[in-house]
């Protein structure tokens, strides 16, 4: 295996050739915030939260889709990086319900976690238009609240890459963009088999297990290992 050496935050680190900057950081315990990244899924670089400074580049590239190269000098904690990440979070929060106290995802929401870490108050872009979309309550298993979706696309990739299905996709454009079953059908009228893969990767409260709503926070319930090799529903044969 060929190795390369780069500098991250003043530290010289060696990683296998072909590693992304994000992977290089994580291999060396350098924290980088991510919303759209999942190591099991194709990286798309859509949320931009993982941006870093790289010497010689004028912009701030997303580390999850930037390959580390020999001699690269990366900075992950500069004021410029922090301010840019904070602005990204402020923009996301500006079009996101601020109902964290009653949200099923409270305690395990990545957006809330980073908003706290970056001291995002939701005031920077307040007063703008917010989505007011109907909640998809059409089936017994998954509750879809498109108003909480941050359009990271992880659910789309999980459906396609993990389950080999293509139930979910983006629809509409710009401010009106939504993620959901094709043609914006309710889940119950789609080809969804309710495997739960989309719910498991959603970083916010846009997709939640319906039967859990009001039944327990993530830290109050026990997760079990999926043993069924077929559909990933989570059947446990203990
Ligand atoms: Fe890299 Fe979203 S985690 S762009």
The residue extents of the domains of the chain are 3-85, 131-220
Domain 3-85 has CATH 3.10.20.740: yes
Name the band, by pLDDT with cuts 50, 70 and 90, for residue 235.
low
Between strands 3-8 and 11-16, the pairing is antiparallel
Between strands 53-54 and 11-16, the pairing is unpaired
Same fold, 3-85 and 131-220: no
Report the candidate in 48, 80, 79, 77 with the shortest Cα–Cα distance to residue 65: 48
Report the candidate in 42, 21, 18, 22 with the shortest Cα–Cα distance to residue 152: 42
CA atoms within 13 A on the CB side of 43: 18
Å from CA of 20 to ligand 1 middle: 12
Cβ-Cβ contacts under 8 Å for 103 (sequence gap 6 or more): 97, 109, 148, 205
Q: What is the pLDDT of residues 132-166, one digit of tens each?
A: 999 999 999 999 999 999 999 999 999 999 999 99
Q: What is the pLDDT of residues 163-213, one digit of tens each?
A: 999 999 999 999 999 999 988 899 999 999 999 999 999 999 999 998 766
pLDDT at residue 179, as a whole number: 96
Å from CA of 196 to ligand 1 middle: 23
pLDDT at residue 186, as a whole number: 92
8 Å CB contact between 137 and 143:
yes
67-93 mean pLDDT: 98
Fold of 131-220: Alpha-Beta Plaits (3.30.70)
What lines the ligand 1 site, CB under 6 Å? 34-37, 45-50, 62, 64
Report the candidate in 19, 27, 24 with the shortest Cα–Cα distance to residue 52: 24
**Which residue, by CA, sits nearest to atom 3 of ligand 1?**
34
């Amino acid at each position: 295996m060929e190795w390369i050496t780069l500098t991250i935050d003043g530290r010289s680190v060696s990683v296998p050739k072909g590693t992304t900057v994000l992977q290089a950081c994580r291999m060396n315990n350098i924290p980088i915030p991510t919303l759209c990244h999942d190591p099991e899924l194709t990286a798309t670089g859509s949320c931009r939260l993982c941006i870093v400074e790289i010497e010689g580049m004028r912009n701030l590239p997303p580390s999850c889709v930037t390959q580390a190269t020999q001699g690269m000098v990366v900075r992950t904690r500069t004021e410029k990086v922090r301010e840019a990440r904070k602005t990204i979070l402020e923009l996301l929060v500006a079009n996101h319900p601020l109902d964290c106290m009653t949200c099923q995802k409270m305690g395990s929401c990545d957006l809330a976690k980073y908003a706290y870490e970056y001291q995002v108050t939701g005031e920077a872009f307040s007063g703008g238009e917010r989505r007011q979309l109907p909640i998809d309550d059409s089936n017994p298993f998954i509750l879809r609240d498109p108003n909480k979706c941050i359009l990271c696309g992880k659910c789309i990739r999980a459906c396609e890459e993990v389950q080999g299905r293509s139930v979910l996709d983006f629809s509409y454009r710009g401010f009106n963009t939504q993620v959901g079953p094709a043609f914006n059908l309710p889940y119950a009228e789609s080809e969804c088999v309710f495997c739960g893969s989309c719910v498991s990767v959603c970083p916010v409260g846009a997709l939640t297990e319906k039967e859990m709503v009001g039944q327990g926070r993530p830290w109050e319930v026990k997760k079990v290992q999926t043993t069924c090799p077929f559909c990933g529903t989570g059947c446990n044969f203990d």
